[in-house]
Structure 1
Amino acid sequence: MGLVSARQNIRQRFDSNYSYVKNLITSIKNSIPLLILGAIRLSSVKTFDYQEHITEYGKHWNFFFTLSLLPLIANGFAPIIDLLSPIVTGFLIMLLYEVVLTKLGLLEYILNSQREGLIGMNKEGLFSLAGYLAIYLNGISLGYTILPLFPTRENLLRVSGSKDECLNNRKIHAFSVSPTKGLFILATLFHALYYVLDTCYLYGVSRRMANSLYVIWVCAYNYTFLFGYKLVENLVWGEPRYELTHSETRITVVNDYRDMNCVPVCLRAVNYNGLTIFILANVLTGLVNLTFNTIDTSDTIALIILIAYCAVLSTVAFFLYTRKIHIR
């Protein structure tokens, strides 16, 4: 989510039309549908007595609420994040949250306190926001590294500048890396951090609290797989080539030398309606769990269900994509 959200910021900076207030208002508007989805999920789970583990997010909280608040919080603190860079801010949030967990009693409160009051009943969902925010900011930082068409100055830390700045600095490679190198550096860094912390950590990875080790583990996992995908892309199609120049009329021109068929249509279809397919996948999972006794289901039936599940998702994604139906 952080990686995808970086696109808007990159585009605004490039076109010199970045607006803090506009982005904040947009994030508020975009959070409303997710809040509504969270409320629908909450009411449907309670209505159908659907199985749930209260220790995952709490009594009322669910991941749609988390998804709705992360961009809103990040946009609210955008000036600070831009000043420090997203990845540095993510590390500071992660460390501060860990201090509060281990030194100020929050860990004991989340694990052992009674569920009293609205905060107590939803303590996992509320406090894990800090960890998920760190992951979100790390995703934004990754977006600044791999989404621009060419390496920009300090792209491991901050967003690229305007068109003119990019043109003036395109030959300056101080602290700039290609997407492949950036992914390799970040994957190596987070794997090393995980190895070091895991040997001396007070407790293990906890999705329930989204603690520091969980943040590092998730980021290491995602960076590694994206690095692997990038290696495959380079092996099959080669490194994409772009040029950014001024035309005779002083208009910035981007020359794109990619093979436009390098992305399979199935992936383009899913990306075209990512949130819609995600919601549909959740609904189908719920229907399967309500319809079948999944614990006692045989391997054959389980495989049939999984194949049907994937077929429905793929068919809907492909239908929407070919009809150019983009559900926001």
Structure 2
Amino acid sequence: MPKDYKQLKQEHVSGHTGSSLFDIHSVSLAMPLTILLWSVLQSRMRLFTPYTLPACFVDVLLNCFVTLLATTVYSSSPWLLNLLLFLPAVLLYLTSEPAHPRAVPHKPPKKPTKDQDSELDRLPVKPFITHYRGAMMVITCVSILAVDFRIFPRRFAKAENWGTSLMDMGVGSFVFTNGLVSVRSSLKSDAGRLAPLSKRLVASMRHSLPLLVLGVIRLVSVKGLDYAEHVTEYGVHWNFFFTLGFLPPFVALFQSAFAMVPSYALLSFVLAATYEVVLDNTTLGPFILTAKRTDLLSQNREGIFSFIGYLAIFLAGQALGTIALPRSQPFPRNSPLSAKLRQSVLGKIALSALVWTALFHISISYYGFGLTVSRRLANLPYFLWVCSYNSYQIALCCAIETFLFPNIYKATTRQEERQRAMDATSTALHSFNRNGLAVFLLANLLTGLVNMGIPTLHMGVLESMGILGTYAVVLAGVALGLNRWDISIRL
């Protein structure tokens, strides 16, 4: 790669200040609106049952290509795309009746098993969580390649020091949603029983080692191929795989603190607030932003210290998981609406979103603390913004499921409930969610290959969309193929 072009690539992703919160929320609203349209098509027409080739085409078109369009062609007019998604959904809903659910075949069991018990699962599969995590994976994978093309607006690229952008939210959301589902194992265990620290650390390292190995492979390949890199993002040697890899053991350590502060939300906020106090009242903040890169610590200061903020985000994701994953308890018939809202899963998630949003605006308000969001520091405002954004997006997905698929959790057997959940879940998003880290790794590899073989900055609109569209098809095809062959790759 010519040195002048490498320099051009580095400048292309450097020095940005992001965009407004309204702009980011307007563009990303396409995700829940796409899920809304998919859900209306399924609940009213059962368009995706059975899952034929035409159904697969529409599924991928809605849940992958709409995201690509939202971040490129429609980036300057996001509300036009939002209306193109919302109006057909409303029109179809108002002009059609709910479709009859598919009957679950009753086969005589060969041998009674625990899974065939009539007792329902305490932690049932929640389609709205699958939808959100799948959609987040899609927009993350699309953005990491699209950012190298001029058709992807510069305001969506990661902000240099201060500011908010779509890709700044992407990395935080990736960590938040991983935390959300990671708490499942803790919820399954008996309440109050915590395994010894040594066992927790050993178990956590099993999850960490593959990610750390991927981090080393990425480091060696980037340096060996003289690949253009944005040093102020994580540092000279650090990368996002190292951040993901070090999370499990530190989470295991913080589980001990959970005995003293029995709330993941409070624990995460205390950690983020303490980190912010240190940033503001010591030389740590200036050191991260302006110090010379003279040794291993200073060379990788962004990745090392921002890890504290990402750890807090992961714990906050676990806090939402304790609300979203368990089964909602049935309400007495005469319960007032206000009580149902407070005690329902949707009501609890919405309340969580309101609290995080209020705290975020207090942190950045002129009449509050007057702080500025920094993804590079992963400071308190960034932490609160990620928590607020993800909580409200998940609340929207939960509301769509509650409204359009109200009978999922009214099943009488596990088999029936799982069938209803499957019918209410996009196969494309389920596939991206099922092998998320493997697909993310593939997306990184393809991004590197494309950038080494094609001068992305010199591509026109049609060429760019052709390459990005092909890239999206390959990722969707691999994800759907792995799901079709019932393969789960755990990293």
**Fold-level similarity (TM above 0.5):** yes
Question: Which deviates more, 57-66 or 230-239?
Answer: 230-239
Give yes or no for the alignment of 1:284 onto 2:446.
yes
Report the residue type matching 1:206 in the other structure: S
Give yes or no for the alignment of 1:33 onto 2:195.
no
Give yes or no for the alignment of 1:10 onto 2:172.
no
CA contact (8 A) 2:204 2:248 kept: yes
CA contact (8 A) 1:242 1:256 kept: no
Describe the superposition over 1:128-173 as per-residue Cα deviations: whole angstroms up to 9, x where unpaired.
Answer: 0110011000000111000012259xxxxxxxxxxxxxxxxxxxx9
- The corresponding residue for 1:110 is 288
Instruction: Give the Å deviation of 1:211.
Output: 0.5
Give yes or no for the alignment of 1:89 onto 2:267.
yes
Instruction: Give the Å deviation of 1:242.
Output: 5.6
- The corresponding residue for 2:478 is 316
Instruction: Give distance in 2, aligned partners of 1:224 and 1:302.
Output: 32
Instruction: Give distance in 2, aligned partners of 1:243 and 1:299.
Output: 49
* Change beyond 3 A, Cα 1:47–1:296: same
Describe the superposition over 1:9-58 as per-residue Cα deviations: whole angstroms up to 9, x where unpaired.
Answer: 111236x8752443321101210111100000000100111111111111
1:58 aligns with one of 229, 235, 253? 235
Instruction: Give distance in 1, aligned partners of 2:360 and 2:265.
Output: 16
- 4+ residue segments displaced more than 6 Å: 253-256
1:266 aligns with one of 404, 428, 438? 428
Report the residue type matching 2:243 in the other structure: T
Give yes or no for the alignment of 1:76 onto 2:253.
yes
**Structure possessing the higher relative contact order (Cα contacts under 8 Å, 6 or more residues apart):** 2
- The corresponding residue for 2:364 is 198
Instruction: Give distance in 1, aligned partners of 2:319 and 2:410.
Output: 21
* Change beyond 3 A, Cα 1:256–1:131: farther
Q: Where do residues 111-126 of structure 1 align in structure 2 (5 Å cutoff)?
A: 111-126=289-304
Q: What secondary structure, in the 3-state scheme, does the structure 1 residue paired with 2:445 have?
A: helix
* Change beyond 3 A, Cα 1:12–1:55: same
CA contact (8 A) 1:149 1:242 kept: no
Describe the superposition over 1:32-85 as per-residue Cα deviations: whole angstroms up to 9, x where unpaired.
Answer: 111100000000100111111111111100011110111210112212124312
- The corresponding residue for 1:129 is 307
* Change beyond 3 A, Cα 1:215–1:105: same
1:218 aligns with one of 379, 386, 407? 386
Report the residue type matching 1:43 in the other structure: V
- The corresponding residue for 2:488 is 326
- The corresponding residue for 1:233 is 401
Instruction: Give distance in 2, aligned partners of 1:271 and 1:308.
Output: 20
Describe the superposition over 1:217-255 as per-residue Cα deviations: whole angstroms up to 9, x where unpaired.
Answer: 1111111111111111122111642699xxxxxxxx969
Describe the superposition over 1:257-303 as per-residue Cα deviations: whole angstroms up to 9, x where unpaired.
Answer: 46231111112212221110111111112222222222221111111
TM-score normalised over the length of structure 2: 0.57
* Change beyond 3 A, Cα 1:222–1:30: same
RMSD over aligned Cα atoms: 2.4
* Change beyond 3 A, Cα 1:87–1:119: same
1:19 aligns with one of 195, 205, 209? 195
Report the residue type matching 1:111 in the other structure: L
Instruction: Give distance in 1, aligned partners of 2:407 and 2:232.
Output: 45
Report the residue type matching 1:180 in the other structure: L
CA contact (8 A) 2:363 2:371 kept: no
Q: What secondary structure, in the 3-state scheme, does the structure 2 residue paired with 1:77 have?
A: helix
CA contact (8 A) 1:145 1:178 kept: no
CA contact (8 A) 1:241 1:256 kept: no
CA contact (8 A) 2:346 2:395 kept: yes
Question: Which deviates more, 113-122 or 292-301?
Answer: 292-301
| Percent identity (aligned) | 38
Instruction: Give distance in 1, aligned partners of 2:373 and 2:448.
Output: 27
Q: What secondary structure, in the 3-state scheme, does the structure 2 residue paired with 1:44 have?
A: helix
Instruction: Give distance in 2, aligned partners of 1:36 and 1:295.
Output: 31
- The corresponding residue for 1:147 is 325
- The corresponding residue for 1:302 is 464
Unaligned runs of 5+ in 2: 1-177, 331-338
Instruction: Give distance in 2, aligned partners of 1:256 and 1:139.
Output: 29
- The corresponding residue for 2:121 is none
Question: Which deviates more, 89-98 or 256-265?
Answer: 256-265
Report the residue type matching 2:384 in the other structure: I
Instruction: Give distance in 2, aligned partners of 1:94 and 1:149.
Output: 30
Report the residue type matching 1:51 in the other structure: A
Instruction: Give distance in 1, aligned partners of 2:479 and 2:220.
Output: 27
Give yes or no for the alignment of 1:178 onto 2:344.
yes
TM-score normalised over the length of structure 1: 0.85
Instruction: Give distance in 1, aligned partners of 2:454 and 2:382.
Output: 32
Instruction: Give distance in 2, aligned partners of 1:144 and 1:150.
Output: 11
* Change beyond 3 A, Cα 1:281–1:177: farther
